[in-house]
Amino acid sequence: MAASPDGRIFVAEKAGTLRVVQNYVLPYTTLIQDYALLDTPFVSLSVDTAGERGLIGVALDPNFTTNGFVYAYYTTAGPTPVNRVSRFTANGNVGTNETVLLDNIASAPNHNGGALAFGADGKLYVGTGDAGDGNNAQTLNNLNGKVLRLNPDGTVPTDNPFYATATGDNRAIYALGLQNPLAVAVQPGTGRLFITDSGDLSDEVNEGAPGANYGWPGNEGDFDPGAFPNFTRPVFTSPHLVVVPGASAPAVTDIVTIGGWPTHALSGGTFYNPATPYFPAQYVGDYFFAKPATGDIFVRDGATGAESLFASAGFGTVDLDVAAGGWLFALNHSAGTITVFVGSTVPNTSVPPYLSVTPSIPTPQYPNPTGTGATQPVQTIAVGTGPGAPAQVAVLNTDGTVRFKIAAYDGYSGGVRVATGDVNGDGVEDVITGTGPGAPPHVKVFDGATGAVIRSFLAFDPAYRGGLYVAAGDIDGDGRADIIVGTATGSSHVKIFDAVTGAEVRSFLAFDGFTGGVTVAAGDWTGRGRADVIVGTATGSSHIKVFDGTTGETTSSFLAFVPEYRGGVSIGAGTAGLFVGSAAGATHVKLFSGGQERASFYAFDPEFAGGVRVAANGPVLVAGAGPGAGPQVKTFESLRSDSAVLDRLAFDPALPGGVFVG
């Protein structure tokens, strides 16, 4: 597996196809729906797949963005299979112009190696197995059981350590004494080279050095240097791993399903030195590696050398890579998935649930905020009529079919603001409604399964007639969605009501002195496992504030759009992050997560100037058209203007005022 600077992931399948996982929201995203395994392979090779043979290595040229060079290590088909290193040129997502760089590396059903990596010196490093014969590793007369060093065009560098003593292609030998080097990792900045090698009794990680002899088959694992003065001692070995429940990335998302193949040795191996670190600073400079047989991913502290468990969930991880965006990708053979680890806060000591996604990308599961494992609630999309239409709510299933409709407020036509969340704890998201301008500040909660009213109250003084915005989220961690209400005009007053008792638990002004009203959302912005309160200006600027759900303290404050924008914002928070829509003017939507902007696009025709109302349904964006477009609703899994999954009218197309969504 190799992650490209442009966000694509190149994955080698043992059967001979090199596949591309396309990222549709560049440069980086952690949304499942923004990645797709392309149907057309990058290349399809005729390979021998007996045992450990096949297409088993891939690397990208350091200048990939300009030359498009992709390198592959594979076993040729035929009566005498051999291992080969070739270079291809990317023409879009298809490889062309195979150039064989190195051929006739002996193969066997076991111990073929397959590691490919470019060093800081611009040379290509190739890990070859001993082809089932340990004696191969101790001779300069063949290429097996070695790390080789090549120029990018396949020629042998004249400064290789054995250039003067070996002959022919064997002059490519850089280091020897290896059984089955499955990974070579190069640390950005330092150029430090780590070689992951499997043995019969011990797996080891060695530091690459010109002319080094790591001892196989005469020795494996750690040893007394005095007893073997000609061998290079490993940096560490698998028996020395301290399996301590350690840090786990606070968010884990399987992004796509692909093919894979098994191994029982240490695998993967990558340094965490991205151009833009996304993990906490404590991980920068650390080395990540995996042991598929136990399902563990380990991290080795770059400063102290201490090893600890990073994640354990039966992954069967065979490769690891770090994207320039700062995330750690793990390739899993047993489930056939790529998993992306993300996290911008110091992780806790528990390992979160790990989730799987099939190629059809069904509704994924999400960690339950109470910590009881993964749940999959019956999700609900609520659509409320805009001003000028009877106060109705269409309750939709996620496929767009109508579950039922609700007459929310008899005789009222000022628009119905809506939100969804499991208030009563029955496993089905309920519908929360709030009145618009001209009516008392009336909030209702309707059972998401039956449509029955389960709560009805006035959120503010009955004399207030400026309208409401509503949201729902589990603020206190009891597994039920508490209700958040904000004043739509006149002030920036926000209140929180307990899901169980209905009691008011907090009341505050989000923006001192601001009288333009606020929109509200609830989502886990701080990564605590509970919802925070997110507030946006309903008119005027695009100011967003995030308030800690427990303490009420302001944890973030920023403008979503340019300072000149004066149309207010609509907001919705889900597992993907915070969606912000322009409430007036063009239908501009942005996604923020981890404190950074992740996506930006237009939900409706860029010429439409009625604004957009947004909500989140898990990782999915729900967008409703503002006044002038009819009651149109869209959902987006990939954040691109042309990628709406659902696009329908929720009510009679003649109804004015657009729609509100939740």
Can you say whether the dihedral through the CA atoms of 331, 310, 242, 227 is positive or negative? positive
**Which of 226-230, 242-246, 514-518, 537-541 shows the lowest per-residue confidence on average (mean pLDDT)?**
242-246
Query: What pLDDT is attached to residue 266?
Result: 54
User: Is pLDDT above 80 for 31?
Assistant: no
Q: What is the pLDDT of residue 392?
A: 93
Using an 8 Å Cβ cutoff, are 569 and 531 in contact?
no
Helix (H, G, I), strand (E, B) or coil at 138: helix
Contacts of residue 211, defined as CB under 8 A and 6 or more positions apart, other chains included, come to 161, 162, 174, 175
Question: Does the pLDDT of residue 184 top 60, yes or no?
Answer: yes
Concatenated DSSP letters for 610-634? Answer: B-EEEEEETTEEEEEE-TTS-SEEE
Kindly list the distances between the CA atom of residue 461 and the CA atoms of 489, 512, 535, in Å, as whole numbers in the listed order: 14, 20, 21
Separation between Cα atoms, residue 267 and residue 565, nearest integer Å? 50
- Range with top average pLDDT, 29-43, 236-250, 584-598: 584-598
What dihedral do alpha carbons 246, 250, 254, 259 form, nearest 10°?
Answer: -20
Which band of pLDDT confidence, cut at 50, 70 and 90, is reported for residue 642?
Answer: low
pLDDT of residue 260 exceeding 70, the answer is: no
Residues 6+ apart with CB under 8 A from 155: none
What DSSP assignment string belongs to 370-403? TSS-EE--B--EEEEE-TTS-EEEEEE-TTS-EE
**pLDDT, tens digit (0-9, with 9 covering 90-100), for 440-470:** 999 999 999 999 999 999 999 999 999 999 9
Give residue 343's pLDDT: 52
The pLDDT mean for the chain works out to 83
- Would you place residue 207 in the very low, low, confident or very high pLDDT band (cuts 50, 70, 90)? very high
More confident residue, 653 or 407: 407
> How much of the chain exceeds pLDDT 90, in percent?
55
Most confident range (mean pLDDT) of 169-173, 284-288, 406-410, 563-567 is 169-173
* Cβ proximity of 388 and 655 under 8 Å: yes
Closest CA to 537 of 598, 488, 601: 488
Count of CA atoms in the C-beta half-sphere (13 A) of 6: 15
Check whether 256 has a pLDDT greater than 60. Answer: no
Whether residue 142 is predicted with pLDDT greater than 70 in this model: the reply is yes
Task: Give pLDDT tens digits for 362-399.
Answer: 222 222 222 223 344 588 999 999 999 999 999 999 88
pLDDT band for position 600 (50/70/90)? confident
Q: How confident is the model at residue 238 (pLDDT cuts 50, 70, 90)?
A: low
Confidence of residue 334 (pLDDT cuts 50, 70, 90): low
Distance CA 73, CA 113 (A): 9
Among 109-118, 350-359, 530-539, the minimum mean pLDDT is found in: 350-359
The phi, psi pair for 117, rounded to 5°, reads -160, 150
Over residues 152-177, mean pLDDT: 98
Task: Give the span between the Cα atoms of 110 and 238, in whole angstroms.
Answer: 20
Residues 14, 114: Cα–Cα separation, whole Å: 11
pLDDT computed for residue 354 by the predictor: 27
Looking at residue 220, its pLDDT comes to 80
Of residues 115 and 653, more confidence is placed in 115
pLDDT average, residue stretch 605-620: 89
* Mean pLDDT (whole number) for 216-224: 84
Please confirm whether the linkage preceding 280 is cis (ω < 30° from 0): no
Q: Is the pLDDT of residue 5 over 50?
A: yes
Of 268-272, 308-312, 427-431, which gets the smallest average pLDDT?
308-312
| Sheet arrangement for strand 124-128 | 115-118, 124-128, 146-150, 173-176
User: Which pLDDT value is given to residue 6?
Assistant: 79
pLDDT at 329: 79
Mean pLDDT of 51-80: 95
Confidence grade of residue 586 (pLDDT, cut at 50, 70, 90): confident
Domain ranges of the chain: 241-360, 377-661
Query: Cβ distance 197 to 178 under 8 Å?
Result: yes
Confidence at residue 471, expressed as pLDDT on a 0 to 100 scale = 98
Q: What CATH number does domain 377-661 carry, 2.130.10.10, 3.60.20.30, 3.40.50.10790, 3.40.50.300? A: 2.130.10.10
Residues pairing with 460 in the sheet? none
Considering only residues 68 and 221, tell me which one the structure prediction assigns the higher pLDDT: 68
Three-state DSSP class for residue 286: coil
Rounded-to-integer distance, Cα 170 and Cα 156, Å = 9
